[in-house]
Amino acid sequence: MLKLTFLGTSSGVPTIRRNVTALAVHSTTNRDWWLVDCGEATQHQLQRIPLTVHDLAGICITHIHGDHSYGLPGLLASASMTGRKKPLILVAPAAVKAWLDATILHTELFLTFDIIHIDVASARQVHLEDGLLIERFPLSHRVPSFGFKFSFEKTTWKVDSDALRARGVPPGPAWGQLQHGKDVRLDDGSLLIAAEFRSQHSERAVAVIGGDNDQPALLAEACVDADVLVHEATYTEAILQKVGPGPQHSSVERIAQFGAAARVPNLVLTHVGARYDSAEGMAEVEAEARQHYSGTLFLARDFDTYELNDSVLAKLPPAPRIK
């Protein structure tokens, strides 16, 4: 009931193969989807997948750095020019909203829809609706940075088919009425009480998506019940040692070690530095991760889509791209 589609997986700057950070989070229960970060040219990436800006429910920005936010004005302008009317939720730092307001003013960008801004620093719970809770968790970076926890839940009712057959009620309209909570009176005058012939079943999917962060352990609480963790892996450990602590990013080794310690069943690495853009470089990243993490591991690439079913994350076959 959860899908992740990566629109950009590079750190800092785009490469020939990978754009800067953007991730679509969508449930299989409806058409709505959310965007986590919106690097430059995210709207161009959207042209090549089935998701549209008209079904975009909201955007979560992890922090103010440009490779996570520079795509916002263009995306919003395109949504307006193609006729979007419904409001859009923007969960972002106050500085991002101020910059966006200034851009709208000084470029005469007239939006056809309202933006509902939620300051990401204001509260842990940033969005709640039927079937979806979004929470944010403070991280460690050169500027305030946050991770987001998406908790999807779907509740359905199922009739007890064995009990109904034993009662002499064949499949038919009566089953549907019972499933919807309606008592049914049979032809013989007896009454079937819905509560006695149906039960509630809940499905849950939890994804934790980290922003830039040099302390993966800050997501320990968020990952307690998580099915999948998506986290930056900007450097291998050897390069991080050379670069030093200044950039405040995670290494592959450190996030893999955290994923193992937190017992997260599925780990997806993204925001990989441009220096690893070759096949050999990505192989180096994967090899380091597998030294420390034995769960289901993926290195995200642009346009990869992953689907979660019963806590098992699987990469879907590439969808035909829109040309």
State the CB neighbour count (10 A cutoff) for residue 44: 14
- Give yes or no for a contact between 151 and 130, defined as CB atoms under 8 angstroms apart: no
- Give yes or no for a contact between 267 and 306, defined as CB atoms under 8 angstroms apart: no
Cα separation, 3 vs 227, in Å, equals: 12
Residues with catalytic annotation?
67
Residue closest to 120 by CA, chosen among 152, 87, 140, 148? 148
Structure tokens at 199: 């039960």
Cα separation, 62 vs 272, in Å, equals: 16
b/e code 274-300 from CB counts within 10 Å (16+ = b): bebeeeeebebbbebbeebbebbbbbb
Cα separation, 16 vs 279, in Å, equals: 13
Helix intervals (H) in the chain: 42-46, 72-81, 94-106, 161-166, 173-179, 194-197, 237-243, 252-261, 279-292
Cα separation, 22 vs 61, in Å, equals: 9
